[in-house]
Amino acid sequence: MASKKGNILIVDDNAGIRQALKILLPLHFAEVETLPSPVMLVSTLERFRPDVVLLDMNFNSSINTGNEGLYWAGEIKKMAPEVEVVLFTAYADIQLAVEGMKRGAFDFIVKPWDNDKLVATLTAARDKARKAMGRDASDAPLGLTDRHPGQSKGFMYWGTSTQMAAIRKTVDKIAPTDATVLITGENGTGKDVLAREIHAHSLRSGKPMVAVDAGAITETLFESELFGHVKGAFTDAHTDHVGKFEQADGGTLFLDEIGNIPLHLQAKLLRVIQSRSVVRVGGSRAIPVNIRLICATNMDLEQLVREGRFREDLYYRINTVHLALPPLRERREDIVPLAERFTCQFAEKYHRPVSGLDDAAKARLESGRWSGNIRELQNVIEKAVILSDGTMLTATDIQIEPSKAGVPASGMLKAVSEAEEERLIREAVEHSGGNISAAAKALGISRPTLYAKMKKYGL
């Protein structure tokens, strides 16, 4: 495993690129932050204090001269001369690279990039910056030398619940293999974190992990993004493009939100998964790809198969090992430890003097419904740390609406499975004593909607 040290800031307007690097670079850097544009660059430099900035050269799709990147590279070196800037561009222009070097850039990377070369360049820039700043090259990132109970050597906080213990035992067995894994769970339960954990403990950990939000790719770009295209394959295809499967060659491909892929595109995905080779759009040559596949979804794929909205053969192909992450409300013993972990992280990130939570704050956290799961908890703690006036978070700092045990909180039916939705509706009706208006209010839906759902589930 590569040494993880230093901070890197990625400034790029392409969400897919930011997401891919957010998966790859934490394997090599202690902290990774991203920005979609240079608008917040100055304040982020002051707050985050990166060692390296990976800077896109163009932020206006109609202007591709690289002038924006060159300007901001110069500004960064003026504000923080010790920070190394690596320029990121899709246009391999030697003169532009030379100009960037003249303005103080450390190096120049052309998209699509080679992961090994990218990492080598960025870590070399980091080491140079840290040496110039007099930082100890062996500095460990937050959490690696002082771990919370239940935290692994990778990314996952396992906690103490029996469900998570069972998942951890399975992960220990399957991580070193190339078994295809399907991770399911509600939004915010940490499916992407679990995928990174599996990759980090696999025999492919030294190779890239490429993440794809399959549900966010438009149908017209689906094949190009996943399988790549050749120059001239379609309008604006000015160069060959390496797809996600090829980018992940030798490593792991993580397909998130796989349940959102349209049915007619599932056949194309299945063909590539079965053959382990891709044909770029506009090309004719089959290119072998050696990947480990991990998929994730918050949807009930078995139900989608029954409804004819997900291919049965694809479902069985991606479901060699199934890991179902429990919602946070089913592992309440982990709420406070997670909150304490986030408090430490955000206190350091925002340079706040907060050192923990008082008993009232813990009680308030434990009373929450947490329909948004760990992601919601993380957001609540981040806001609390930023706004707190003291050294300990109090109940006043925890801005949530506590709910009684077993009583659903408002809006909780968003993004849950049908089985979970039925259970929540049943509980709400029981706790309201059959008062439909009260139950609908607790669920955050209208009375007609609740009546329709009750009829659907035969309640």
Tell whether 433 is covered by a domain.
no
Tell whether 175 is covered by a domain.
yes
What does the H/E/C string look like for the chain? CCCCCCEEEEECCCHHHHHHHHHHHHHCCCEEEEECCHHHHHHHHHHHCCCEEEEECCCECCECCCHHHHHHHHHHHHHCCCCEEEEEECCCCHHHHHHHHHCCCCEEEECCCCHHHHHHHHHHHHHHHHHHHCCCCCCCCCCCCCCCCCECCCCCECCCCHHHHHHHHHHHHHCCCCCCEEEECCCCCCHHHHHHHHHHCCCCCCCCEEEEEHHHCCHHHHHHHHHCECCCCCCCCCCCECCHHHHCCCCEEEEECHHHCCHHHHHHHHHHHHHCEEECECCCCEEECCCEEEEEECCCHHHHHHCCCCCHHHHHHHCCEEEECCCHHHCHHHHHHHHHHHHHHHHHHCCCCCCEECHHHHHHHHHCCCCCHHHHHHHHHHHHHHHCCCCEECCCCCCCCCCCCCCCCCCCCCCCCHHHHHHHHHHHHHHCCCCHHHHHHHHCCCHHHHHHHHHHCCC
- Same domain for 311 and 177, yes or no, is yes
Provide the residue count of the chain: 459
- Same domain for 168 and 308, yes or no, is yes
- Same domain for 186 and 320, yes or no, is yes
Compute the average pLDDT of residues 360-372.
Answer: 90
User: Residue 1 pLDDT more than 50?
Assistant: no
- Same domain for 128 and 96, yes or no, is yes
- Same domain for 306 and 351, yes or no, is no
List, in sequence order, every residue forming a beta bridge with 32; answer none if it has no partner: 8
pLDDT given at position 62 = 45
Tell whether 147 is covered by a domain.
no
User: Residue 128 pLDDT more than 50?
Assistant: yes
Place of tokens 């993880």: 4
Distances (CA, A) of 221 to 54, 183, 224, 241, 243: 26, 25, 5, 12, 11
User: Residue 141 pLDDT more than 80?
Assistant: no
Counted domains in the chain? 3
How much is the mean pLDDT over the chain?
A: 83
**C-alpha dihedral sign at 163, 381, 34, 219:** positive
Distance in angstroms (rounded) separating the CA atoms of residues 381 and 347: 10
Tell whether 431 is covered by a domain.
no
Compute the average pLDDT of residues 434-446.
Answer: 73
Distances (CA, A) of 114 to 12, 23, 110, 207: 17, 15, 9, 11
What range does the domain containing 275 cover?
162-324
Q: Which of 89, 112, 133 is the last residue of a domain?
A: 133
Tell whether 155 is covered by a domain.
no
- Same domain for 200 and 335, yes or no, is no
Distance in angstroms (rounded) separating the CA atoms of residues 229 and 222: 11
Enumerate residues 6+ apart whose C-beta is below 8 A from 283. Answer: 228, 229, 230, 233
CATH (domain of 240): 3.40.50.300
pLDDT given at position 417 = 65
Q: Which of 373, 393, 413 is the last residue of a domain?
A: 393
**C-alpha dihedral sign at 157, 159, 164, 167:** positive
Are residues 424 and 329 in contact, defined by beta-carbon separation less than 8 angstroms?
A: no
Tell whether 335 is covered by a domain.
yes
List, in sequence order, every residue forming a beta bridge with 241; answer none if it has no partner: 229
CB hemisphere CA count around 230 (13 angstroms):
10
CA 324, distance to chain mean position in Å, is: 18
Closest CA to 226 of 250, 199, 248: 248
- Same domain for 268 and 357, yes or no, is no
Assign 151 a pLDDT band (cuts: 50, 70, 90).
very low
CA 134, distance to chain mean position in Å, is: 32
- Same domain for 210 and 174, yes or no, is yes
Tell whether 189 is covered by a domain.
yes
pLDDT given at position 84 = 92
Assign 413 a pLDDT band (cuts: 50, 70, 90).
low
Distance in angstroms (rounded) separating the CA atoms of residues 202 and 155: 13
- Same domain for 277 and 332, yes or no, is no
- Same domain for 87 and 37, yes or no, is yes
Q: What are phi and psi of 264, to 5 degrees?
A: -70, -20
CA 23, distance to chain mean position in Å, is: 7
17-74: per-residue pLDDT in tens? 999 999 899 989 989 999 988 878 877 887 888 999 999 887 764 445 557 788 888 8
- CA torsion, ordered 170, 176, 180, 186, to nearest 10 deg: 50
**C-alpha dihedral sign at 333, 377, 54, 230:** positive
- Same domain for 320 and 334, yes or no, is no
pLDDT given at position 137 = 37
Are residues 282 and 237 in contact, defined by beta-carbon separation less than 8 angstroms?
A: yes
List, in sequence order, every residue forming a beta bridge with 34; answer none if it has no partner: 10
Tell whether 153 is covered by a domain.
no
CATH (domain of 383): 1.10.8.60
CATH (domain of 125): 3.40.50.2300
* Interstrand relation of 107-110 and 181-184 (parallel, antiparallel or unpaired): unpaired
Assign 93 a pLDDT band (cuts: 50, 70, 90).
low
CA 34, distance to chain mean position in Å, is: 12
- Same domain for 320 and 332, yes or no, is no
Assign 355 a pLDDT band (cuts: 50, 70, 90).
confident
Enumerate residues 6+ apart whose C-beta is below 8 A from 234. Answer: 224, 281, 282
Q: Read off the pTM.
A: 0.58
Compute the average pLDDT of residues 352-372.
Answer: 90
